[in-house]
Amino acid sequence: MQSGSDLQALNYSNFLKFIEQLGFNCLNRPPKDLSHRPAVESLKFLISVFENTTKEKGLSVMLYEVEGKETSGGDEENEEIKEMNKKVNEDPEFILPEGFVKVNERKPVYSYDLPDSMTEVLGEAKTVSLQVLDDFFAEILDFHFLEGRVTWDEKVSVKEAVPKITAPKRAAPALTYMKPV
């Protein structure tokens, strides 16, 4: 963002940078300190705060739903989706019934361990000791001192389709029949 007086500085790419900084800066100290976790956790938490606040105000949360929605129906509806997920993972060309869509999901998978190259530098005994100590910290204090490495698990899942809502046609402005004076 260029200058404080430039109203056009917050374009889309700057907005993405702003949200990233907002998530990191707001969530790096108590009461919600996520500074010891990967940055993506801060962003996920920030977006969940936005979504929950929107729900509490009684506004639509469709903005937070991507290509599908979680089912809130009964167990049989969830069982139906579980069954379709199995079929889609076995056969990617499986045709879904109307009202359902295939969604590519990317979930972060965190590993808190040292890279293999560190074994050469530190030796196997120190590497294993550090990893065991990090596991103790995580289990007892819910804190990792080793930096988390993020990999992405990608899979196709089935979600209930979100109906497309079209904006109503706008009527002509009320004063269009008048000519300027």
- Lowest pLDDT segment from 91-95, 114-118, 148-152, 162-166: 162-166
Residue-level pLDDT at 143: 82
The rounded distance, in Å, linking the Cα atoms of 128 and 77 is 46
Q: Which helix (H) or strand (E) holds 135?
A: helix 124-141
Give domain limits for the chain: 1-64
Q: What is the pLDDT of residues 26-39, one digit of tens each?
A: 888 888 888 877 77
- Partnered with residue 108 across adjacent β-strands are 152
The rounded distance, in Å, linking the Cα atoms of 122 and 139 is 24
Region 58-82: what's the mean pLDDT? Answer: 65
Amino acid at the residue 27? L
The percent of residues in the chain predicted with pLDDT above 70, rounded, is: 77
Taking each helix axis from N to C end, the angle separating 12-26 and 39-56, rounded to the nearest 10 degrees, works out to 100
Looking at residue 36, the DSSP 8-state letter turns out to be: T
Please tell me whether the overall predicted TM-score, pTM, comes out greater than 0.85 for this model.
Answer: no
Q: Assess contact for 71 and 158: CB atoms under 8 A.
A: no
Residue-level pLDDT at 129: 92
The rounded distance, in Å, linking the Cα atoms of 88 and 177 is 57
Residue-level pLDDT at 70: 47
The rounded distance, in Å, linking the Cα atoms of 105 and 169 is 34
Only one residue has tokens 């739903």, namely 65
